[in-house]
Chain A
Amino acid sequence: MIRRPRLSFSTRSFASLLLLAAIASSGAAGAAERTFTVGGESKNSNITFESESDFETILGHTNTAAGTVVADLDAGTATIDVRVPVAALDTGIELRNKHLQSGDWLDARKNPEIRFVSRSARKLDDGSWEISGDFSLHGVTHPVTVRAQVKAIPAAAAKAAGLGKGDWLRVSAPFEVKLSDHGVEVPGKLAGRVSDLWKVKLNLFVNANA
């Protein structure tokens, strides 16, 4: 006959305590972590890209973005996933937009989205956030580190600005992208007129209501 070992009272109590502690700590973390939605109305997103050359400085932009930010503002941790459709990029000249989306450039048909997915994000002592992640453009993913400014918007101010219900954050983040890192070669006939280096700036209002 096999005898099952009996747990003593003290061992069972200890196990129960551990379980309770685990549940309590996971509950506390979940309460502080919030999910914010990127996108919505066009005024919520203003994303620009700048190409500086001898010929001109192009300032392109889009108001279309989608994604989520899951952040624990107190703990200073977050995960970010932002997507921008290539077809929504506007350089101010219709013909140039068509070129940008063509197979010679970003190839919107094959690679319809530009995407940033964070791998780590932490709040720095000066209040800004350092976010490292993977930036995908033209089907090629490259690591990028972004220094972002995150500001909580008081509910009254958000309401007055017509942003809508719920808690809002303003996220501003500049970073640089080298087209050649993503397999985009500036065509020879445009060399000197379009830079390989693009300065990107995100200005997003993200909402925790959804």
Chain B
Amino acid sequence: MPATRLASLARWAHRGAWAAVVIALLLPLAAFLADRGWGQEVRILSAHEPSVVELNRALWTPGDPVAEIYGNPMSTSTRVLLTSHSTVLHPQEDPSLALLPVAAGGERPLQVQTLWWAVRLGAIGAGAATVVLLALAYFLRRRQRATVPAPSA
């Protein structure tokens, strides 16, 4: 392969490595900003039917768990993305709670932990691509130097 071609390939490999570094850094930043902008902490629950909610309300006494009035909740709160605030329920018994009822066969919200899982995977992939491209650039430069004839005296 001609030296000019090797030099060009090495340049592109080097640029690719830098691009992968930028992606590896941008992915967590984008996830962080998305979480800040559109994330909210909720307790997802499998919703009871409205008549059952009314019955549970009638049976509820102060001290009883509140989320159970509205459905079977997850054991802990979860951060979710892109959920309309109108779908989040703040019960009158405890307005500080944010409940996200999920109906039978209904859509499940995107969880922030899933986003971070994907970001981790993307960052690892971008990191691996950086190492491979840098190694390729180094190898191509060595080949290029080997093919360039030494300048005559």
Chain B: interface residue total (CB-CB under 8 A): 29
Q: Is the CB of A92 within 8 A of B102?
A: yes
Residue of B nearest to A54 (CB): B117
Question: B102 and A59: CB pair below 8 A?
Answer: yes
From B44, B52, B71, B105, give the contact of A161 (CB < 8 A). B52
Question: How close is B40's CB to chain A, nearest CB, in angstroms?
Answer: 15
Contacting pair A57 B111 (CB below 8 A): yes
Partner of B113, one of A43, A56, A61: A56
| B48 in contact with A199 (CB, 8 Å) | no
Interface residues of A in 63-106 (CB under 8 A from B): 63, 90, 92-93
Known A-B contacts A54-B113, A172-B68; A43 and B49 likewise in contact (beta carbons under 8 Å): yes
Contact with A along B57-74 (1 / 0, CB 8 A): 011000000001001101
The reply to whether the CB of B108 lies closer than 8 angstroms to some CB of chain A is yes
Within 15-34 of B, Cβ neighbours of A (below 8 Å) are at: none
With A163-B55, A203-B68, A205-B52 known as contacts, the answer to whether A57 contacts B106 (CB < 8 A) is: no
The chain B residues found within 8 Å of chain A, CB to CB, are: 44-46, 48-49, 51-52, 54-56, 58-59, 68, 71-72, 74-76, 78, 102, 104-108, 111, 113-114, 117
Beyond the given A47-B72, A55-B117, could you list 12 further A-B residue pairs with CB under 8 A, ordered by the A residue number? A42-B104, A46-B52, A61-B46, A61-B104, A90-B104, A92-B102, A92-B107, A92-B108, A157-B55, A161-B54, A170-B56, A199-B75
* Pairs A–B under 8 Å by Cβ, sample size 29: A46-B52, A46-B71, A50-B74, A50-B75, A52-B76, A54-B117, A56-B111, A56-B114, A56-B117, A57-B44, A57-B111, A59-B46, A59-B74, A59-B102, A61-B46, A61-B104, A90-B104, A90-B105, A93-B108, A151-B59, A153-B59, A157-B55, A157-B59, A158-B55, A160-B58, A161-B52, A172-B68, A201-B72, A203-B72
